[in-house]
A and B are shown apart, each in its own frame.
Chain A
Amino acid sequence: MENDERLLRLLALKRCEKPLPGSLDNVVTEFHRRLRHEEIRRAQSSPAVLWSRLMDALLVEPLSLLRHVATGAAVAAGVMIGLGTLTLQKPAGAIPAVAQSSLRIDLEPSDDAAVRALVPARADALSLEAMADPDLGRQLARPLVPEPHAMPVSFDEANIVF
């Protein structure tokens, strides 16, 4: 006898097993008892209702739930791909809008001290750079002349008002 056939005959023995005596006698009664108990429990606890519905969906209609999840995932993937495509369409060397602005800040010579007070570390660094590089030192030492179309600028301590 081949092992396959032996295995099938062995498995078929399980058909001869029987439930414990009386174990199926009160199934309906027990069903109604549990149903009543669960209804009371559900009425008392709303999170349990949500959980039970989720479990119902998982255990009773898993394919339906799977379809909903798959649809949601497909929509989310579509949105992500759409956003990704829009991002990729931007030119690689694009300059940020702020950097493209024609706005310029021109400082009065008297403002130099105020700028240094606002950014002391940078100012010190510039001084050191100026000491090391005579050209840079000369540029920094040159008085700043306002351009004709420059917007007026005023400094009010930490608040810059245009």
Chain B
Amino acid sequence: MSSADALPSPAAPAPDRTKSPDPPQEPDESLVAKVQSGDTSAFDQLIERYKGRLYATIYHMTSNHEDAADLLQETLIRAFRAMPRFRRDARFSTWAHRIAINVTINHLRQNKRRATLSLDQMEIDPNELDSIRELLSEQSLRPGEDPEHRLANLQKILNESIQTLSENHRAVVVMHSVQGLTHAQIAEVLGVPEGTVKTRLFHAHRLLRKKLARHLKEL
């Protein structure tokens, strides 16, 4: 298991999965043009390029791997169907993320009435454990408590708190605080003004601080 296995963020470059140097990648614009002229195999390359980032976005919003896999497929199918109408003045990655966010928000709204949350057991990348341990101060650990156990509990609580946010608040939190996108990038993905992104983020953070107040003090 390596750090390359961790869910990538849209802002980060695609993980290097091979030992040998990669051949120069065909630009997105060229692949998009091929798809629009009928070459569906070019879309396969776009899928390979962005599946991890799209999956991460969807997963962080749903906290459910099954839903994330299903919604990723729905995103890809809708994107493929809409390719003839895709204007090349926008970046494909931004456009695809917008579809993923809309598909996920739609899914979350449709399933709002579900009383119980299906939170998956999180797996942590061991390479990240050192930096994670830094977060957990000695004072935060009860006598004899395993840091990893403590972390798992924290993550569970964190995910439950994120799930209580509205879909719009959740989307900005995931894209900004988890995936590291800038306000401008989020505004472009969501198709809203940058000020709206900042406002949503402010409210979302305030709600999360309130819900996690006790746990944040223990950190």
Contacts and interface: CB of A to CB of B under 8 A. Distances in A.
Contacts of A14: 7, 60, 155, 158-159, 174, 178
Interface in B70-104: 72-73, 76-82, 85, 98-99, 102-103
Interface residues of B, number: 60
A94 interface: no
Contacts of B203: none
A60 interface: yes
Nearest to B6: A18
Interface in A1-20: 1, 3-4, 6-20
Contacts of A24: 51-52, 55
Nearest to B125: A16
Interface residues of A, number: 36
Q: Secondary structure at chain B's binding surface: helix, strand, loop or mixed? A: helix
Contact of B44 (A10, A13, A23, A28): A28
Interface string B1-17: 10001110100000000
Q: Secondary structure at chain A's binding surface: helix, strand, loop or mixed? A: helix
Given A7-B205, A15-B178, A28-B44, A35 B77 contact: yes
A15 B180 CA distance: 9
Interface of A: 1, 3-4, 6-20, 23-24, 27-28, 30-31, 34-35, 38, 52, 55-56, 58-63
Interface of B: 1, 5-7, 9, 44, 47-48, 51-52, 55-56, 59-60, 65, 68-69, 72-73, 76-82, 85, 98-99, 102-103, 106, 122-125, 128, 132, 135, 151, 154-155, 158-159, 173-174, 177-180, 191, 205, 208-209, 212-213, 215-217, 219
